[in-house]
Amino acid sequence: MRTVLVLVSLFSFALTTSASADENDPRVKRAWKAKCASCHGEDGKGDTEQAKKKFGGPLRDLTDAKVQERFKDPELRDMITKGKTETKDGKEVKMPATPEIAGEQLDGLVQFVRKLAVKK
Protein backbone atom coordinates (compact mmCIF):
# COMPACT_ATOMS: atom_id res chain seq x y z
CA MET A 1 0.00 0.00 0.00
CA ARG A 2 2.79 2.40 0.90
CA THR A 3 4.49 1.75 -2.46
CA VAL A 4 1.26 2.66 -4.27
CA LEU A 5 0.97 5.92 -2.33
CA VAL A 6 4.57 6.82 -3.12
CA LEU A 7 4.04 6.10 -6.82
CA VAL A 8 0.83 8.15 -6.90
CA SER A 9 2.58 11.02 -5.15
CA LEU A 10 5.51 10.93 -7.57
CA PHE A 11 3.16 10.79 -10.55
CA SER A 12 1.17 13.78 -9.24
CA PHE A 13 4.37 15.72 -8.61
CA ALA A 14 5.60 14.98 -12.14
CA LEU A 15 2.34 16.21 -13.63
CA THR A 16 2.35 19.48 -11.71
CA THR A 17 6.00 20.26 -12.32
CA SER A 18 5.97 19.41 -16.01
CA ALA A 19 2.88 21.44 -16.87
CA SER A 20 3.89 23.95 -19.48
CA ALA A 21 2.47 27.32 -20.34
CA ASP A 22 -0.13 27.33 -23.06
CA GLU A 23 -1.72 30.08 -25.12
CA ASN A 24 -4.15 30.86 -22.27
CA ASP A 25 -1.44 31.33 -19.64
CA PRO A 26 -1.47 34.93 -18.33
CA ARG A 27 2.32 35.15 -18.85
CA VAL A 28 1.87 34.33 -22.52
CA LYS A 29 -0.91 36.89 -22.96
CA ARG A 30 1.21 39.54 -21.20
CA ALA A 31 4.17 38.76 -23.48
CA TRP A 32 1.97 39.08 -26.59
CA LYS A 33 0.55 42.40 -25.41
CA ALA A 34 3.91 43.80 -24.26
CA LYS A 35 6.19 42.60 -27.06
CA CYS A 36 4.09 41.71 -30.11
CA ALA A 37 0.68 43.38 -30.26
CA SER A 38 1.89 46.92 -30.97
CA CYS A 39 2.99 45.79 -34.45
CA HIS A 40 1.09 42.54 -35.03
CA GLY A 41 -2.13 43.78 -33.42
CA GLU A 42 -4.14 42.24 -30.60
CA ASP A 43 -5.83 40.06 -33.24
CA GLY A 44 -2.65 39.18 -35.17
CA LYS A 45 -3.77 40.81 -38.43
CA GLY A 46 -0.69 43.09 -38.51
CA ASP A 47 -2.57 46.16 -39.71
CA THR A 48 -1.53 48.57 -36.95
CA GLU A 49 -0.32 52.16 -36.96
CA GLN A 50 2.97 51.01 -35.43
CA ALA A 51 3.51 48.48 -38.25
CA LYS A 52 2.78 51.13 -40.86
CA LYS A 53 5.13 53.58 -39.15
CA LYS A 54 8.02 51.15 -38.54
CA PHE A 55 7.67 48.89 -41.58
CA GLY A 56 5.92 51.03 -44.16
CA GLY A 57 2.72 49.02 -44.17
CA PRO A 58 0.88 46.16 -42.57
CA LEU A 59 2.69 43.01 -41.51
CA ARG A 60 1.77 39.51 -42.62
CA ASP A 61 -1.66 38.53 -41.37
CA LEU A 62 -1.05 35.84 -38.73
CA THR A 63 -4.73 34.89 -38.82
CA ASP A 64 -4.19 33.57 -42.35
CA ALA A 65 -3.46 29.83 -42.25
CA LYS A 66 -1.52 30.11 -45.54
CA VAL A 67 0.83 32.65 -43.95
CA GLN A 68 1.42 30.36 -40.99
CA GLU A 69 2.12 27.37 -43.24
CA ARG A 70 5.25 29.22 -44.41
CA PHE A 71 7.14 28.55 -41.16
CA LYS A 72 7.50 25.67 -38.72
CA ASP A 73 7.48 26.02 -34.92
CA PRO A 74 11.31 26.04 -34.57
CA GLU A 75 11.48 28.90 -37.10
CA LEU A 76 8.79 30.79 -35.21
CA ARG A 77 10.72 30.32 -31.94
CA ASP A 78 13.85 31.70 -33.64
CA MET A 79 11.96 34.69 -35.04
CA ILE A 80 10.62 35.51 -31.59
CA THR A 81 13.90 35.12 -29.70
CA LYS A 82 16.41 36.25 -32.35
CA GLY A 83 14.33 38.66 -34.40
CA LYS A 84 14.03 38.66 -38.16
CA THR A 85 15.40 40.90 -40.86
CA GLU A 86 13.76 41.12 -44.28
CA THR A 87 13.86 43.44 -47.24
CA LYS A 88 10.56 45.10 -48.11
CA ASP A 89 10.35 47.43 -51.09
CA GLY A 90 14.14 47.72 -51.15
CA LYS A 91 14.27 48.71 -47.48
CA GLU A 92 15.62 46.53 -44.68
CA VAL A 93 13.07 45.97 -41.93
CA LYS A 94 13.78 44.17 -38.68
CA MET A 95 11.52 42.53 -36.18
CA PRO A 96 13.28 43.00 -32.84
CA ALA A 97 14.58 40.03 -30.88
CA THR A 98 12.97 39.15 -27.56
CA PRO A 99 15.42 36.71 -25.95
CA GLU A 100 13.78 37.26 -22.57
CA ILE A 101 10.86 35.15 -23.77
CA ALA A 102 12.06 31.58 -23.29
CA GLY A 103 11.13 28.13 -22.09
CA GLU A 104 7.49 27.47 -21.29
CA GLN A 105 6.52 31.06 -22.03
CA LEU A 106 8.04 30.79 -25.52
CA ASP A 107 6.26 27.49 -26.15
CA GLY A 108 2.99 29.08 -25.05
CA LEU A 109 3.56 32.09 -27.31
CA VAL A 110 4.12 29.80 -30.30
CA GLN A 111 0.80 28.08 -29.45
CA PHE A 112 -0.85 31.50 -29.12
CA VAL A 113 0.35 32.53 -32.59
CA ARG A 114 -0.82 29.24 -34.06
CA LYS A 115 -4.30 29.71 -32.56
CA LEU A 116 -4.59 33.05 -34.36
CA ALA A 117 -4.83 31.27 -37.71
CA VAL A 118 -8.29 31.00 -39.16
CA LYS A 119 -8.91 27.91 -41.24
CA LYS A 120 -10.22 28.95 -44.64
The CATH number of whichever domain residue 37 belongs to comes to: 1.10.760.10
Q: Is the pLDDT of residue 112 over 50?
A: yes
In a domain, 31, yes or no: yes
Whether residue 83 contacts residue 97, with contact meaning beta carbons closer than 8 Å, is answered with yes
Does residue 8 fall inside a structural domain?
A: no
Please report the beta strands in the chain, taking only residues with DSSP state E, as ranges in sequence order: 84-88, 91-95
In tens, the pLDDT along 8-62 reads 333 333 333 334 577 788 999 999 999 999 999 999 999 999 999 988 889 999 9
The predicted structure's pLDDT at residue 14: 36
Residue 6 placed within a domain? no
The residue range of the domain holding 71 is 21-116
User: Which residue did the predictor score with more confidence, 92 or 31?
Assistant: 31
Radius of gyration of the chain (CA): 18
Number of domains the chain is built from:
1
* Nearest partner of 73 among 38, 44, 112, 42, judged by Cα: 112
In a domain, 32, yes or no: yes
> Is 33 contained in some domain?
yes
Asked whether residue 7 is domain-assigned, the answer is no
Residue 5 lies inside a defined structural domain of this protein? no
Q: Is residue 13 part of a domain?
A: no
